[in-house]
Amino acid sequence: MSQQETQNMAKHFYRASAADFMKIPGSPVAYWISAETKRAFSDNPSLNSVGKACAGHQTGDNDLLLKQWFEVSFADIGFDIESRDQAKNSGYKWFPHRKGGSFRRWYGNYDYVINWLNDGDAVRRHPSSALRNPDFMFKPGVTWSHTSSGSFSARLSQTGDTFNVEGPTFFSEDTELSLGYFCSNVALHFMQIMNPTLHFLVGSVSQLPFKSIDRVLLDGIRTDVRELVEIGKYDWDSSEISFDFRKPHLLDGDFFSSELRASYSAISSRWLEITTRMQSLEKDNNRLFIEAYGLNGELSPDAPLHQVTLNCNPYYRYGANRSDEELETLLQCDTLRELVSYAIGCMMGRYSLDKQGLILASQGETLQDYLNQVPDPRFAPDDDAILPLTDQEWFPDDATNRFCEFLRVVWGGKPLQKNLDFVAESLCLHAIKPKRGESALDTIRRYLSTQFFKDHLRTYKKRPIYWLFSSGKHKAFECLVYLQRYNDGTLARMRTEYVIPLSAKLNAYAEKLEQDKDASASAAETKRLEKEIATLHKQQTELADFDEKLRHYADQRISLDLDDGVKVNYGKFGDLLAEVKAVTGQK
């Protein structure tokens, strides 16, 4: 070996004492760590000296015992429960359940509820279940995702929450301090040394070094954490997926303008301010913990923008590997898609322009229940919660016409066309491809007919609450039905009010097209009409087949139990529904 090769080897040679590795729980061969990091482990007690990191329940059958919160009757969910005794005596069946989830810090990932009726009797009786740390149920703490495809992320777990094996939780007397620590790059630094995999186990987290922090730093940490949680909650609650969703930010009074474009511009500026503020607070939280642990020369307090976990932050929501222009167009498109979804919710009676939050969200609720809460609505919900989605205007109360009415009620009639144009323009940024010569209303109709339900499936994680009944690939007839307002007479009404009348309309339209073809003097026009007639005949055949199947199922007067969940209930209608395999997992 040459002298030069020997020198090169020396540059990459580390000398470390085995005793140094023993200072770190698990004794990892982390030869590169600094003296300051070693002292953090050797001079401080572990996290389990000030609290307890707990693994959560393993139900044995998540499909049976866990549901997305929006699948079940909202009236059956118990919130803010403080103890198992209170839960048992409350009469509620479902309770918020933390199950890990995607990379998100501070607040969020409130997706699931667990069947804990009668102190979890169904869970206890399941042969494959494992109940862990039940005495910590319903207590506030800090939860995180057991397995992550990205970095470690922790969130507040509030009073009333239960927790899963995939969402372990740390309980202590100082939840704010614990949350600040877990979300700091100091804790991540320690965790990467102890456990470099993407599995954040209770044992590893329990062994994190925990330093007593002086009062000045502690006050700063708590102040930052309170605001960080507040911002995270504001952002999480802006989505329909939150059970605390009130209304879209576009309808907030502080940003409201008669023109949608101006409203979007105002709220997007506000989102940028919020994102920048959270990034600054996270950087300060990192700085305070770096100072407390004496790691100033080793760690940077920087908080990368793509890890500021707000849905209104496009760098986090869509990834940092896109251009600024593309990120902005994605955010604009999704914001207007969410407005369309909210409008559909208002048509169904789930939401109201006159009262924030959920209105009809429990099984068996009716239009009268809506009117009891909103006696004189500006925008009335559909009387039967059957909303046609058709590629032509066959019904005056179809989703497209009602969306146009929604815009008129909210923003007024004068700017209606400009607002329709902005919605259509935004949808064409990413949701659907633009079509030359198409009017804004036709673009919106095309989005509702071809893409809305796909977006709804993605938003509601393949557990849709608006179900798409479809005659088939030719789309002769399609309609949305609101799950919570479905009853055993819904299919019969769908048939008599929509399918049978549509059949007559298609017959009349076919006769008109035949007459137009006979009268046409243009070869090109004749060819166009022949093509349209051929398509219409396919739709007529498809509709006749659909009507026969619909009559069969309507005669059965199928009832649903929301506690069974969407996956089970969606499979009760054969192929009357679209995307059956995607929802049920079966053909």
Q: Is the pTM of this model over 0.85?
A: yes
Whose tokens are 């919605």? That residue is: 423
What's the pLDDT score for residue 308?
A: 97
**Going by C-beta distance under 8 Å and a sequence separation of 6 or more, which residues neighbour residue 50?**
172, 173, 174, 210
pLDDT tens digits along 344-390:
999 999 999 999 999 999 999 999 999 999 999 999 999 999 999 98
pLDDT at 114 exceeding the cut of 90: yes
Cα→Cα distances 29→34, 65, 200, Å = 13, 42, 18
pLDDT at 40 exceeding the cut of 90: no
Torsion-angle region of 34 (φ positive above 0: left; ψ -120 to 50: alpha; else: beta): beta
Alpha helices in 15-157 (DSSP H): 18-22, 35-42, 62-65, 84-90, 117-125
Rounded CA-CA distance 341/452 in Å is: 8
292 vs 191: which has the higher pLDDT:
292
Of the ranges 195-199, 308-312, 506-510, the best mean pLDDT one: 308-312
Average pLDDT, the chain: 92
Rounded CA-CA distance 388/497 in Å is: 11
Buried b (16+ CB within 10 A) or exposed e, 88-101: beeebbbbbbbbbb
Give mean pLDDT, residues 522-529.
Answer: 85
Q: What do you get for the CA distance between the two ends of the chain, in Å?
A: 67
Rounded CA-CA distance 465/463 in Å is: 7
Rounded CA-CA distance 20/53 in Å is: 26
What's the pLDDT score for residue 195?
A: 74
What's the pLDDT score for residue 587?
A: 62
pLDDT tens digits along 249-292:
999 988 899 999 999 999 999 999 999 999 999 999 999 999 99
**Domain residue spans in the chain?**
329-584
Rounded CA-CA distance 83/58 in Å is: 20
